[in-house]
Amino acid sequence: MTSNHETSEVNMSKYGKCVLEPDNFPTWEAQNGSRCVTALITPDSCESQKMVSGLWRLHPGHESDPDSHPDADEIYFVVSGTGKLVLGEEEFIVSKGMTIFIPANVHHQSFNSGEEDLVYYFIFAPPPAGPPKQESENWVKLP
């Protein structure tokens, strides 16, 4: 556990903004309530220019919209949950501890078949062009 004094030292240090606590960042939920995202490593949070990352949650019984990123590779690390991931025309069962590489331009979609949130830590490199999905689709900022 970090004391307030230790936290202040980290924030005042040269690389303090590189050590991130997810609870200090807003979470955005899709309009239909199926999923949410917490952006962590971004140009705004820590001046990252070559990648972005964060936490993505898909609630039980829901599926994501089909997606692809023409200008960025993506990595998922499955933090928790179980589900089905479609990459191109292939289907895979994914679960906690697995890592998935999604090449640029490959269509992908996730389905949560479990009883808990399917949580990915995602990384894009380079950052995809255009606004983040939570902005372009008017996701709701959670309290």
**Predicted local confidence at residue 108, as pLDDT:** 98
How far apart CA 33 and CA 89 sit, in angstroms, is 27
Edge-to-edge strand list for the sheet holding 28-29: 99-102, 73-80, 118-125, 52-58, 35-41, 28-29, 140-141
**Predicted local confidence at residue 11, as pLDDT:** 52
In eight-state DSSP terms, residue 67 is B
Q: Strand, helix or coil at 50? A: coil
How far apart CA 56 and CA 122 sit, in angstroms, is 7
Q: Strand, helix or coil at 90? A: strand
Regions in the chain scoring below 70 on pLDDT = 1-12
User: pTM here?
Assistant: 0.87
Edge-to-edge strand list for the sheet holding 90-95: 90-95, 82-87, 108-112
How distant is the alpha carbon of residue 88 from its chain centre? 20
pLDDT tens digits, 90-126: 999 999 999 999 999 999 999 999 999 999 999 999 9
Residues in the chain, total: 143
**Predicted local confidence at residue 143, as pLDDT:** 87
